[in-house]
Amino acid sequence: MKLVVANWKMNLTASETRAYTAAFRKGLTALEGVEIVLAPPFTALAAAAAAEGRWSLAGQNCHHRSSGAFTGEISARMLADLGCRYVILGHSERRRDFGESGELLSEKVARAREAGLVPIFCVGESLGEREAGATEEVLERQVADLAADPAGMPLVVAYEPVWAIGTGQRADGGQIRGAHGRLRSLLAVRSDLRILYGGSVTAETSGEILGLPDVDGALVGGASLDPAGFARIARAAIQR
């Protein structure tokens, strides 16, 4: 079963989330055959949980400590208590804009596990790295930050080339297959691994992307903000 994740980033208030979930539910005609995850901002998680649809929830981030004097931060346990099943970690916007290091991300993965959350761990190369032929090396380095995570635990890895995020310029089939194949061999010890593609996935392109052999689902940013469009992506995933 494919997994489609809506990463709303810093969009949609709690009230807008109520309208979104109502519209999204209408767009989901076939209910079985796809796993749907919504990742609203922290302030809208409760509204998305209260709407009780056929989706589970993800936090977009969590702190690397379990509790304490960290003003403005959110712990993995708080997310789990609100009903989250997943947490997105290592998104390139956090690596780039908030300076999140591999070492810090390993700690976040451990906190997520302690709280019973499944990490959706994002990896991907920048344009410069791809042009320098360093894609495989970057993926290897980023995946090494998962070394301490028990191999038998369910894990989701999202391959998101940085140059494809929010740019409208998605990776082509060959690039996606190449990266996913590499990730699968780097993570061969994992017994429950799903690899998603993310980066400018739209309702129009989702069918083709989700049909690629090594793609277990999609992490969708901009195109997930339209409930009808995201419902189309979920339906495309059912057919694959």
Contact footprint for ligand PGA (CB under 6 A): 7, 160, 165-166, 198-201, 219-223
| Residue owning tokens 């509790």 | 67
- Closest to 48 in 3D by CA, of 15, 80, 76, 26: 15
Q: How far is the CB of 151 from ligand PGA (least distance, A)?
A: 25
Distance CA 104, CA 231 (A): 34
Q: How far is the CB of 71 from ligand PGA (least distance, A)?
A: 26
Q: Identify whether 160 is a catalytic site residue.
A: yes
Q: How far is the CB of 170 from ligand PGA (least distance, A)?
A: 8
Q: Which is nearer to ligand PGA, 75 or 206 (CB)?
A: 206
Q: Which is nearer to ligand PGA, 76 or 220 (CB)?
A: 220
- Per-residue tokens: 112: 């997520």
Q: Are 85 and 112 in contact (CB under 8 A)?
A: no
Q: How far is the CB of 166 from ligand PGA (least distance, A)?
A: 4
Burial, 148: exposed, middle or buried (Cβ in 10 Å; 0-12, 13-18, 19+)?
Answer: exposed
Residue from 91, 93, 125, 129 carrying the catalytic annotation: 91
Q: Are 196 and 216 in contact (CB under 8 A)?
A: yes
Residue from 93, 100, 129, 160 carrying the catalytic annotation: 160
Q: Which is nearer to ligand PGA, 198 or 217 (CB)?
A: 198
- Closest to 155 in 3D by CA, of 103, 108, 113: 113
Strand, coil or helix: 82:
coil
Q: Which is nearer to ligand PGA, 112 or 124 (CB)?
A: 124
Q: Which is nearer to ligand PGA, 75 or 197 (CB)?
A: 197
Q: Are 31 and 17 in contact (CB under 8 A)?
A: no
Measured from each CB, the residue nearest to ligand PGA is: 221
Q: Identify whether 180 is a catalytic site residue.
A: no
Q: E strands along the chain, which residues? A: 2-7, 34-39, 56-59, 84-89, 118-123, 155-159, 193-198, 217-220
Q: How far is the CB of 202 from ligand PGA (least distance, A)?
A: 8
Distance CA 180, CA 215 (A): 7
Catalytic (active-site) positions: 91, 160
